Homo-oligomer: A and B are copies of this chain.
Amino acid sequence: MTNERPLILVSNDDGYRAQGLNELIGFLRTIADVVVLAPATPRSGSGCSITSSLPIKLVKDLQEPGVTRWICSGTPADCIKLALHVLFPERKPDLIVGGINHGDNSSVNAHYSGTVGVAIEGALKGIPSIAFSLCDHSPSADFMPLKPYIIAITRRVLEMGLPAGTCLNVNFPKAAEFKGIKVCRQTRGDWQDEFEALERKNGEKHFWMTGEYRNDEPESTDTDHWALDNGYVAITPTTVDMTAYSLMEMMQGWDFSAE
């Protein structure tokens, strides 16, 4: 790193009003210049989705010393794409950070999370990226215990970099203190009983998403879910390469000729 302050691009999926975003900006501005481009509205469950059939509206919000804020009508992944296209004409950001999400993004939630989508998109763009999430959905969750960890993890990634095509998915348990940090793998699990049915008086059938998470390997101690259940900060190194290499090898012998 040079003598310049690091430059960090921040986004989230709970929208620009979310407390988690604003706490994150407060933490990061102590060590870096921050540019924010966040969705205008809550976008939970956006994953890596993008807006290809509508234009995205971009608006400048507040400008304070060391922090410039923008808002757009797009998804979290759109925010990263648009920010890199428009907001950094000279110097690219040194780091991209998503969060702090109000809610758990460990295990399979990484696929649905717009906060992780921010980090995946950053990794696809070749910039070290981190998603931060707290296992507390409350709009007024207490983010202060996270501050020293977020600053330490951010500093370490600024210093060490990350391999091409990877990012970090960092989840914090809901706690006043943490036992430490575990570097772990994505837990195998899934959601159960995912819908609450409701029938309108006119007979229309509607379904609200709900559900219970099921950990399919509760005995494993190297997973992100185990770390969170046991009071540790879970860092799950994450890759954008979804190739199933062992299946790729297995399938080389498959016969696909028509019968």
Contact = CB atoms under 8 A, between A and B. Distances in A.
A85 B207 contact: yes
Interface in A238-259: 238-248, 250-252, 254-259
Contacts of A160: 254
A156 B259 CA distance: 10
Do most interface residues of chain A lie in helix, strand or loop, or is the interface mixed?
mixed
A197 B53 CA distance: 14
B163 A244 contact: yes
B247 A205 contact: no
Given A85-B195, A207-B58, A237 B251 contact: yes
B124 A190 contact: yes
Interface stretch (A93-101, A138-146, A147-155): A147-155
A231 interface: no
Interface stretch (A22-30, A43-51, A61-69): A43-51
Interface residues of A, number: 88
A238 B246 contact: no
Max chain B C-beta neighbours (<10 A), residue from A75, A112, A120, A252: A112
A48 B259 contact: no
Contacts of A86: 195, 197, 207
Interface string A29-53: 0000000000000101111111111
B198 A55 contact: yes
A81 B45 contact: no
A206 B240 contact: no
B185 A248 contact: yes
Contacts of A235: 251
A148 B259 CA distance: 10
B117 A181 contact: no
Given A248-B183, A258-B152, A206 B112 contact: no
Q: Which 8 A-B pairs have the closest CB atoms?
A: A237-B247, A239-B244, A55-B206, A237-B244, A49-B49, A185-B243, A47-B47, A47-B48
Interface of A: 42, 44-53, 55-59, 75, 77-78, 81-82, 85-86, 108, 110-112, 114, 117, 120, 124-126, 148-149, 151-153, 155-156, 160, 162-166, 181, 183-186, 188, 190-191, 193-195, 197-198, 204-209, 235-248, 250-252, 254-259
Given A56-B195, A240-B242, 14 more contacts: A45-B50, A49-B114, A52-B209, A56-B208, A57-B205, A85-B194, A148-B258, A162-B247, A165-B188, A166-B247, A185-B248, A186-B243, A236-B248, A238-B244
